[in-house]
């Protein structure tokens, strides 16, 4: 039995190595996008504030009772609040309070990934105390970021409703106004390891 010349054996081994490497590269290419791409994480912050110089309508006791505010959306969950040192709008809240024209009623922030979509309960779901806020907010992640909020802000016996439905851009400060209250919203992307 004759042995193949050394060059023929080397060529066959080389072809086998190339086939193994090509298979490994194709396998890695199909798995890598799932492993390498981390789920984006967003930080959402909201500041609700009173306009202190706005005249509050006088409530007539003969009129119907003051509404408790918008109902909390079905399936809403409580946000896991961010600690103060993670808030990016702390300076904005302090400037509002120092201005003498506004008073911060609520400053809240949370983080969520793209898959988290249930609305978040804001304030007390059972009612709205004096100078309180009640309602819900949500950040929907799709082709664009869409923020929505339906909040009631109470001041001196009057309830002001703040509703927002808008596309938001990362890092931009968005403003929703009402004669008695205002709302500032900012969404930022949080860098996670593997992102």
Q: What is the pLDDT of residues 2-59, one digit of tens each?
A: 555 555 566 665 565 565 545 554 555 555 444 456 778 899 999 999 988 877 665 5
Domain count, the chain: 2
Does residue 121 share a domain with residue 26?
Answer: no
How far apart are alpha carbons 174 and 188 in whole angstroms? Answer: 12
Does 195 map to a domain?
no
Does 114 map to a domain?
yes
CB distance 162 to 6 below 8 Å? no
Does residue 153 share a domain with residue 134?
Answer: yes
CA nearest to 49, candidates 114, 90, 105: 105
CA distances from 122 to 3, 117, 150, 160 (A): 81, 15, 9, 15
Does residue 86 share a domain with residue 16?
Answer: no
DSSP reduced 3-state for 102? strand
Does residue 130 share a domain with residue 60?
Answer: yes
Does residue 71 share a domain with residue 22?
Answer: no
> Average pLDDT of 152-170?
87
Does 29 map to a domain?
yes
Note down the domain range covering 32: 1-37
Does 113 map to a domain?
yes
Please enumerate in sequence order all residues whose Cβ is within 8 A of that of 66, keeping only pairs 6 or more positions apart, or say none.
59, 154, 157, 158, 159
Token couple for 69: 């505010």
pLDDT bin (cut points 50, 70, 90) of residue 66 is: very low
Does residue 102 share a domain with residue 80?
Answer: yes
């Amino acid at each position: 039995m004759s042995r193949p010349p050394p060059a023929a054996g080397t060529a066959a081994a080389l072809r086998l190595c190339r086939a193994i490497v090509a298979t490994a590269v194709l396998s890695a290419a199909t798995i890598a996008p799932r492993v390498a791409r981390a789920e984006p994480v967003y930080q959402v912050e909201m500041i609700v504030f009173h306009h202190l110089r706005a005249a509050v309508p006088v409530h007539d006791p003969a009129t119907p009772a003051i509404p408790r505010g918008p109902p909390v959306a079905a399936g809403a969950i409580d946000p896991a609040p961010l600690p103060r040192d993670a808030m990016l709008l702390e300076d904005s809240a302090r400037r509002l309070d120092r201005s003498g024209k506004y008073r911060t009623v609520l400053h809240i922030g949370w983080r969520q990934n793209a898959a988290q979509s249930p609305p978040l309960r804001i304030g007390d779901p059972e009612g709205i105390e004096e100078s309180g806020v009640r309602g819900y907010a949500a950040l929907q992640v799709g082709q664009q970021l869409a923020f929505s909020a339906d909040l009631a802000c109470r001041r001196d016996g009057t309830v002001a409703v703040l509703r927002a439905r808008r596309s938001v851009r990362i890092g931009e400060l968005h403003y929703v106004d009402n004669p008695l209250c205002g709302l500032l919203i900012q969404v930022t992307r949080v860098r996670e390891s593997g992102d």
